[in-house]
Amino acid sequence: MIGKKTMTMTKTYWIERNKTINVDWSAKTVVYCRNIFKHINIPKGNVVMLGAAYSLALEVLVGQFGKRAMGVDKWNFGNHPQCITEDIFDLDDFDCAFVYCDVASFSHIAQQNPCPRLTAFEWSLRNLVPGGYCLTRMYGYSDQDMKSTQHLMRIVDKHNVTILPIPGNFRGSDWDSKDDVLLRKKG
């Protein structure tokens, strides 16, 4: 039997989960990617959807940034031509102007060691160029969520970034922009 700590590492788990929350053009990643660049200017460089799933949000980025946009996922579920199939634990470093950090999930932080979401978050902050931005979920409501925030804050403290609220107030049926942040690389 597969344990709670390892189930989120399986393709089957992500096929089922992605069917429930990222199935259409109202997904929060899509809404953010459509709107966020009306509020921020990003430097030159790669625009990355880390955890692309079916690549709907990636397609929105491609519409705005063309070949600068790319996705990364352990499984390229949408067979998007600009998504590379790579495990976050094996992803090489490269400079990024914008990263939407959505590998695995905030709710599963620290349930595995090493943890894919924390590894993705650290990868994102490490690879941002000065003036670049990372968008990700940082906050929540339960005691477990608060522990997840603390794990993320320990990574924030190691990198030269400022935490900013999401500009605008976006809400969906199962999400709230108050949970999410923009992190800007100083310099």
**CB 68, min distance to ligand SAM, A:** 18
**Is 118 among the residues that bind ligand SAM (CB under 6 A)?**
no
**How far is the C-alpha of 115 from the C-alpha of 168, rounded, in Å?**
30
| Start-to-end Cα distance in the chain | 49
Three-state secondary-structure class, residue 169: coil
Q: Which of 47, 83, 96, 104 binds ligand SAM (CB under 6 A)?
A: 104
The correct pick among 37, 40, 43, 105 for binding ligand SAM (CB under 6 A) is: 105
Rg (CA), the chain: 15
3-class SS string, 39-97:
CCCCCCCEEEEECCCCCHHHHHHHHHHHHHEEEEECCCCCCCCCEEECCHHHCCCCCEE
**Least distance to ligand SAM, CB of residue 165, Å:** 20
| Residue ranges in 84-103 that form contacts with ligand SAM under rule CB under 6 A | 87-88, 102-103
Q: How many residues bind ligand SAM (CB under 6 A)?
A: 22
Tell me which amino acid residue 125 is.
Answer: L
Residues 42-81 interacting with ligand SAM (rule: CB under 6 A):
49, 51-54, 56-57, 73-75
Whole-number minimum distance, CB 130 to ligand SAM, in Å? 25
Give the residue with the Cβ less far from ligand SAM, 5 or 44: 5
Give the tokens for residue 120: 């993705």
Binding region for ligand SAM (CB under 6 A): 14, 18, 22, 27, 29, 49, 51-54, 56-57, 73-75, 87-88, 102-105, 116
